[in-house]
Amino acid sequence: GYKNQGFRPIKKRWVIEPTFAWFDYNRRLCRKYETTFDSAEEMVKIASIKLLLNKI
């Protein structure tokens, strides 16, 4: 049955979790400072660009 299969992590979940942890590292993203959805979306884009630039 199900118990005999052992632990098998979901691959996609392990890829996404570090990204969410990195977003939590940015204080502006983990607090609700933005009043509109558009400004919050732009802050996520800026944070993603910052993450990519740090990897170069």
pLDDT in tens, 13-40: 666 777 777 777 777 776 776 678 888 7
pLDDT, residue 42, reads: 84
Range of the domain at 38: 3-55
Taken in order 35, 36, 37, 39, the sign of the CA dihedral is negative
pLDDT, residue 37, reads: 80
The count of domains in the chain is 1
Q: Say what the pTM is.
A: 0.53
pLDDT(1) > 70: no
| DSSP letter, residue 5 | G
